[in-house]
Structure 1
């Protein structure tokens, strides 16, 4: 029996590659995006790969849009086995120069979008006592970085939210949770984040310019000359997602490259996959 997968943010990059690789490996894939006007690259790849995808509209910033999409899938398939919360956006700007609207937006897209989609699928998974939610986080969900504090804050929130859910829903209702933590992906997402950084630099207070120049120089060096492969391709990260989805006992946390592993090592060396922390939480609160 095929498993039903719902993936958000599939118009390009990691979401697109994840939709393709899951479909190639036997999943019935519902690939979603905010605007269906952007579906052609995904459909073209699906045709090239000779696979079938079901494409639906889903805006993670609107609960009604999320609910409508989930209800459509349930009506057609009766269940959702896998949710991949991939939709998100990069954001790099100092707190001092960030507007209230931008603060709300970066948190809404990167954190509340995950909550909304999870909220919509958990009831069905709980009733069936089966399901897996994979949240695409980042090394920025574990380690704060210059000019990325609002993005990192949203990803830290995703990490805490996911860990808390895993502390009681997995044992009680057999719903699995995994945080996938890339170090960097060469996609339109990354390009968008860099463009925002450059725009931020033009508007930044002069006091920040020496720091911003160092930051941008470091990004350029890592992009052009790193032997540690800082920035992965979307397909490389999608393969990690597939492996996690196929794992009957998936980790709570997984980094997707050696660079990401080393970058987060001071935070993760005592509990690399997060399972020890969850067990301690259960002992303290639920035993």
Structure 2
């Protein structure tokens, strides 16, 4: 029986991934930051007759990560597969985004996966086997959209970390995969600083416009169960490329961007955004 630890399982891709592994009979540890938010996961598991362990695991807290991983290993044995899924998306302009919000995003999307990976790696290394699946984003592989720079930076950083980690742990029999999903329904709860911007914020109208575009894109998002299936497949298949796009929109976007410069991309992006969100607001100093 494979032991799988998944972070961020209260909703979206994490919830579906926990159920997908459990359906195969794997021993699933579905980490959640707030156990009170695990009600939907547990309800669906009971409805299907599935057994899940739901440890409290806050990826932004060193003590929480250490306690959760230690408890899982003490009670249930070694962790075979780690799925670093927990993440958040905060939009905001580079100049005026509150730095505490930007730091929180990086703590969750970059430092969080690193914390959990470092907690499970010693056991995997000693046993000479293990799989780490880092759930990144298409945003980490493509050009950053306006007001999406911090999110894109966090995911690009996770991709770079995955590359280095892959090369470092491969000699120990450990495999690393960095999956890059496109748009999936409620995959990440996007929050915005647009509504908190002061009336004098020179980026306020532009930020709100970009958020309208992202909301329209999300209306056509794919089912999170499809992303979960891709995660299970990546954990199983040693031939999965380190960087793997998930979702038709992600695959199409990467094909389109092959050989395209930022200067060529930006006007096309803005045209697409205006087609969904209306004319881009005029800027004021």
> What's the TM-score bracket when you normalise by the shorter of the two chains?
0.7 to 0.9
Going from structure 1 to structure 2, the CA distance change for 1:25 and 1:258 (only over 3 Å counts) comes to same
Distance apart, 1:256 and its partner CA: 1.1
- Equivalent residue for 2:152? 152
Distance apart, 1:55 and its partner CA: 0.8
Separation in structure 2 between the aligned mates of residue 178 and residue 267 of structure 1, nearest angstrom: 22
- Equivalent residue for 2:139? 140
Going from structure 1 to structure 2, the CA distance change for 1:32 and 1:213 (only over 3 Å counts) comes to closer
- Equivalent residue for 1:256? 246
Match of 1:199 among 195, 212, 232: 195
Distance apart, 1:245 and its partner CA: 1.4
Matches within 5 A, 1:264-283: 264-265=254-255
SS at match of 1:55: coil
Separation in structure 1 between the aligned mates of residue 56 and residue 15 of structure 2, nearest angstrom: 14
RMSD of aligned residue pairs (Cα, Å): 2.0
Q: From the two aligned structures, give the one with the greater helix fraction.
A: 1
Deviation by residue 1:172-211 (Cα, 9 ceiling, x = unmatched): 1111111111111211734xx1x415425x5475543564
Deviation by residue 1:48-84 (Cα, 9 ceiling, x = unmatched): 1111001111111111111111111111222100000
Distance apart, 1:156 and its partner CA: 0.9
1:208 aligns with 2:203: yes
TM-score by length of 1: 0.83
- Equivalent residue for 2:237? 247
What are structure 2's unaligned runs of at least 5 residues?
260-285
1:222 aligns with 2:217: yes
The answer to whether the Cα contact below 8 Å between 1:132 and 1:245 also exists between their aligned partners in 2 is yes
Deviation by residue 1:24-63 (Cα, 9 ceiling, x = unmatched): 0121001111111112111101001111001111111111
TM-score by length of 2: 0.84
The answer to whether the Cα contact below 8 Å between 1:97 and 1:204 also exists between their aligned partners in 2 is no
Separation in structure 2 between the aligned mates of residue 265 and residue 21 of structure 1, nearest angstrom: 29
- Equivalent residue for 1:79? 78
- Equivalent residue for 1:55? 54
Going from structure 1 to structure 2, the CA distance change for 1:159 and 1:16 (only over 3 Å counts) comes to same
SS at match of 1:57: coil
| Number of residue pairs the alignment of both structures matches | 258
